[in-house]
Amino acid sequence: MKRKVINLNSKIRWIDGKSLPSEELKKIAQIDNNIPKEFDPHWKPNKDKNDRRIKYYKKLTDKDFFQVLYCESEICGFHIIRDTGNSIAYISTLWVDPRFRNLGLGKKLKEKGLNWAKDSGFKFLHTSVQSKNVRMNEINQKNGFEIFSSTYRLTL
C-alpha cells in the first residue's frame, strides 16, 4: 500500500473530543461504527447506530478520556475510554486512519490512554477485541493486558 508521507511533529494536533462540534462527532461516529466491519463481514452499520453513538460521545464527561488526533485538517485517529464505576475503565474505541498506520500513532494514542487511566486512579482497564484483529491483540499483549473473559460465537 502506498503511504502518505507526513512530518508527524509539525502536522498532527491532539484535541479533546469533548470540545468538538457535532459535525466532527458525526464523522467519528461513522468511522467508529464501521470498525468491526474490518474484522466481521456480518457487521451492519445503520444510521440509528450513528445517532446513538453521537449521543454517547456527548454524554462523556471529565471522568472519561476522549482523545482525537488530526493530521493536518483531517481526523486521523481517536481513542475513547470511559469510567464504568467500580474503579474500572473501559476502552470503547481506538482507531487510526489506514493511510497513517504503522507510523506509531496507534501506540501514542494507546500510551496517552494508559497514562490517563493510571493517573485517574482506576484499578483496571478493560477492552474487547475481535480475535481476527491480530494487530490490536498484539498491541494489548505488548502493553501487559491479559485475557480476562472470552466471547464465543456459534455460526448457525
Binding site for ligand COA (CB under 6 A): 35, 38, 94-96, 101-107, 129, 133-136, 138-139, 142
Helix axes 105-119, 134-142, angle to 10 degrees: 50
Name the residue number minimizing CB distance to ligand COA.
106
Task: CB nearer to ligand COA: give 62 or 145.
Answer: 145
CB of 87 vs ligand COA, minimal distance in Å: 22
DSSP the chain: -PPPP--HHHHEEEEEGGG--HHHHHHHHHHHHHGGGGT-TT----HHHHHHHHHHHHH--TTSEEEEEEETTEEEEEEEEEE-STTEEEEEEEEE-GGGTTSSHHHHHHHHHHHHHHHTT-SEEEE---TT-HHHHHHHHHTT------------
CB of 111 vs ligand COA, minimal distance in Å: 9
CB of 104 vs ligand COA, minimal distance in Å: 4
Task: CB nearer to ligand COA: give 18 or 112.
Answer: 112
Task: CB nearer to ligand COA: give 21 or 41.
Answer: 41
Task: CB nearer to ligand COA: give 16 or 138.
Answer: 138
Task: CB nearer to ligand COA: give 93 or 120.
Answer: 93
Query: 100 and 106 in contact (C-beta within 8 Å)?
Result: no
CB of 5 vs ligand COA, minimal distance in Å: 15
CB of 95 vs ligand COA, minimal distance in Å: 4
